[in-house]
């Protein structure tokens, strides 16, 4: 299973939308940097065509730094957990 | 067995350096006998358009790098069908002699076959 990492706000860039279109079932998604804004929005406020998948994570420090209140469904992880995800998944795909 | 490396090209050719860097990474990798596969999706498919005249804006042609791919052993490129449809571009607008064009419906399944994905 792949790990997809997105770092752009969904309102500024097509990165998250493109990523969702290229995800296979069971892939994981990690939202970092400005992509954490997608983790704090109600589904109706999000511009993507597809919903974010069940296995979606958000980098806690980036969300806290930006004052984003992350949805309870999205686990907030630290850098150590990020490394663990990288070890558990192949390939790792960056979207920016 | 999973394939080695996929180079993901998502940027239009002359607006930033990323498109060129992706192709250069592909050529460098192939020159080291690690022949990568390439997937053009999103605005990356604009790199493939025929009739580019980048000298008009004092830039070097990226099409030349694409045309060099077969010389380095890269004989096939993947193109996201949905990205073509979105932009109203037909495959007939793409003329790359020596390269086999494979249209991909399910990019997720394609990506899943690789060990490494380099994004540009």
Q: How does pLDDT run across B23-58, given as a tens digit for each residue?
A: 999 999 999 999 999 999 999 999 999 989 999 999
- Gap from B28 CA to chain A (nearest CA, Å): 20
- Gap from B45 CA to chain A (nearest CA, Å): 13
Instruction: Give pLDDT < 70 ranges for chain A.
Output: none
Contact B44, B112 (CB under 8 A): no
pLDDT per position as a tens digit, B55-101: 999 999 999 999 999 999 999 999 999 999 999 999 999 989 899 99
**Model pTM?**
0.92
Write out the two tokens for B42: 């999103």
Contact B58, B52 (CB under 8 A): no
* ipTM of the complex, rounded to two decimals: 0.87
Q: How far apart are CA A77 and CA A82, in angstroms?
A: 7
Please name the member of A24, A91, A96 whose beta carbon is closest to the beta carbon of B116: A91
Please name the member of B42, B112, B115 whose beta carbon is closest to the beta carbon of A18: B42
Flag if B107 and A22 touch (Cβ within 8 Å). yes
SS3 state at A54: coil
- Gap from B105 CA to chain A (nearest CA, Å): 10
Contact B34, B3 (CB under 8 A): no
Flag if B117 and A1 touch (Cβ within 8 Å). no
| pLDDT of the residue at B95 | 87
């Amino acid at each position: 299973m792949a790990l997809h990492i997105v770092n752009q706000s969904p309102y500024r860039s097509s990165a998250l939308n493109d990523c969702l279109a290229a995800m296979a079932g069971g892939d994981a998604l990690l939202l970092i940097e400005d992509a954490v804004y997608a983790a704090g929005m109600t589904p109706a406020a999000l511009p993507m065509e597809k919903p974010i998948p069940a296995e979606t994570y958000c980098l806690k420090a980036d969300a806290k730094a930006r004052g984003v209140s992350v949805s309870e469904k999205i686990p907030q992880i630290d850098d150590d957990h990020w490394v663990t995800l990288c070890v558990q998944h192949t390939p790792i795909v960056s979207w920016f | 067995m999973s394939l080695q490396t996929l180079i993901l090209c998502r940027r239009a050719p002359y607006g930033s350096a990323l498109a060129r860097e992706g192709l250069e990474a592909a050529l460098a990798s192939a020159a080291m006998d690690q022949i990568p596969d390439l997937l053009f999706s999103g605005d990356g498919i604009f790199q493939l358009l025929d009739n580019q005249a980048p000298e008009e804006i004092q830039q070097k042609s990226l099409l030349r790098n694409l045309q060099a791919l077969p010389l380095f052993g890269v004989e096939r490129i993947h193109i996201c069908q949905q990205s073509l449809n979105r932009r109203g571009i037909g495959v007939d607008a793409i003329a790359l002699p020596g390269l086999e064009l494979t249209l991909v419906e399910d990019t997720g399944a394609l990506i899943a076959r690789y060990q490494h994905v380099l994004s540009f």
